[in-house]
Copies of this chain bind each other. A is one copy, B any other.
Amino acid sequence: MSPAFLLYKEKPLKLHDALPMNWEKLFRPRSIAVVGASTKVGMNINMFFPGLVDAGFPGSLYPVNRHAEEILGYRAYPSVRAIPGPVDYVIISVPREHVPEVLDDCVYKGVSVAHIFTAGFGETKTSEGMHLQERIREAIRNRIRLIGPNCVGVYCPGSGIAYMPGQSRTAGDVGFVSQSGGHTSLFVENATSQGLYFSAAVSVGNSLDLGINDFFEYLSADPGTSVIGVYVEGMTGEQGRRFFELVRNTTPRKPVMIMKAGRSESGARAAASHTGSMAGTYSLWASMAAQANAVLVNDYTEMTDFIWAYKCLKGLPGTRAGVVCGGGGNAVWCGDTLGAGGFTLPPLSPETQKSILEFTDAVGTIAQNPVDPNFSMFDPQAHIRVLTTLDAQSDIDFLLNVGVFDFLYHHTIPTGLLSREQLIRDSADRLSQLRKSVRKPFAAAAIQVSENPDIYDILKQIRLRAREEGVPCYASLERMTAALRRLHTYSAGLNGKAS
């Protein structure tokens, strides 16, 4: 490991000599207190309490606020000490100078885990911030495990834990751990809007105690998590070594996606301003990720795209695609985009070409790869036979169907030829039928070229339904290509082959 992993800060003294983490108290707490719960609503206020209420937390919820009797129908308490029952987990969102005394109350009360949302500590690099952070350290040493400070903490819908209202209550198998609360929110938003749900998503902030590696280790062992995403700004050398050891041990069982900040100098400098992390050399991270068979992504959309490819296909055995695509110009565009992503489109054998022309409208059909069946694409039987013919050609590894929907939309919806629901159902059903008709891995793109919001909504629903039917379906050729490329690399890595 190179010195690029070295951190800005001194290696901290070990915080807890003898205080093992009890994950049950964090991810399945019987009771949660929110210190600093607000009686107001709005954007720039504490959203943890309304978040927990909205998420339907099934245990005991205690808002703590010196000036309130009741918040959202829950009895409020002036302090953690004043709460009558036991408290497993406390979320702290009060001005920074009050944080140490709240922690003292937590210790008194026997709280297991505290999460500090409040910012203004070590990351400010001011003497006051550093001093307060040291006081926190002393308050919790060997007494309380800590998330933060300076982070949004935990989203765990299966246990009714959300950090703001409106987060999905549906639980799933995606795990995420992040050095940015913003990215945590955005990835949760991005993924849930595309039908992916979470076992847990955690933002770690300054990581005074629990950090990326602790949560990663938990998610790696968690049987309810089948894929893990990580957003990292920077790590110390020791943290980095441990991280890649954990990743290497995880990827044979579940894929790990890493979004690493600091691809460029400007990004690295912004990361330093954000969490005080030195980003390290990106190329070093990329090479460590490749060695550990982790999937490197540039943003959370790419995470979501990869997860769907993985969930539907598990792996992609080769790089040779057989493609069905409506429109000659579109077929060329497909070839170029897939080619730029490292895939090839083998020429079709004369027998395959002849066979395709037999059951499609010969004038207008391009019996090459991509096949453009022209209007025969609207005939379900011809469409399926084109795909099964490609399925039979031995030098093709996987199959794709690409549809640009603007034209179909204009000729069916405004004209009343189909209802929106019919168009959605027919299109998703067709993709499902295509998948069931072939043996090779099958993916699709359902694309719009205009910015028509109605088409957007229809295609979103087509893609969601297709994915439920096992077809990873994408909004653009680029996104489909990138997701499949990452899946191929991951599966080649699993089989011990460099891709």
Contacts and interface: CB of A to CB of B under 8 A. Distances in A.
Interface of A: 41-44, 96, 119-120, 166, 178-183, 185-187, 189-190, 192-194, 231, 233, 261-271, 273-275, 298-301, 327-340, 343-345, 347, 363-364, 366, 368-370, 372, 375, 378, 404, 406-408, 410-411, 414-415, 449-453, 456-457, 460
Given A336-B262, A336-B263, A189 B406 contact: yes
12 contacts: A180-B329, A182-B330, A183-B333, A186-B406, A189-B449, A266-B338, A266-B343, A267-B335, A270-B331, A270-B334, A271-B332, A301-B449
A263 B339 CA distance: 8
A457 B453 contact: yes
Given A182-B327, A330-B182, A363-B120, A335 B449 contact: no
A181 B179 CA distance: 48
Nearest to A461: B453
Contacts of A337: 267, 298
Contact of A273 (B181, B330, B366, B453): B366
A265 to B, nearest CB: 6
A330 B415 CA distance: 43
A267 B339 contact: yes
A336 B186 contact: no
Contacts of A41: 415
A174 to B, nearest CB: 15
B335 A264 contact: yes
Contacts of A43: 375, 378, 407-408, 411
A453 B453 contact: yes
Contact of A193 (B166, B343, B364, B452): B452
Nearest to A451: B193
B347 A450 contact: no
Contacts of A179: 329
B328 A275 contact: yes
A266 B336 contact: yes
A233 B331 CA distance: 12
B180 A332 contact: yes
Contacts of A180: 327-329, 332
A104 to B, nearest CB: 23
A411 B460 CA distance: 23
Max count, chain B CB within 10 A of own CB: residue among A181, A266, A299, A338 = A266
A231 B329 contact: yes
B451 A267 contact: no
B451 A460 contact: yes
B261 A449 contact: no
Nearest to A189: B450
A340 B347 CA distance: 35
